[in-house]
Amino acid sequence: MGGAHLAPHRRRHRDLAADENGAVTAEYAIVIMAAVAFAGLLVAIMRSSEIRAMLVQLVENALGSAG
């Protein structure tokens, strides 16, 4: 008798947990899309010859001052 009274509560808890699983999946998808967009931005920046030359000069200066 007591178990039948608790069944709707357990069912609601299970349904809420299932809803959260979908939210977590959506959050992962958003994070992955943001990471891909950031990687694309980095690729676009690194294709610029001015940026590449500036970074090479920065590394050479850092190595020159360290030694």
More confident residue, 19 or 52: 52
Q: Whole-structure pTM over 0.75, yes or no?
A: no
Domain boundaries, the chain: 2-66
| Confidence at 2, pLDDT banded by 50, 70, 90 | very low
> Which H helix or E strand runs over 65?
helix 49-66
- The pLDDT of residue 15 is above 90: no
- The pLDDT of residue 32 is above 80: yes
> Which H helix or E strand runs over 11?
helix 2-46
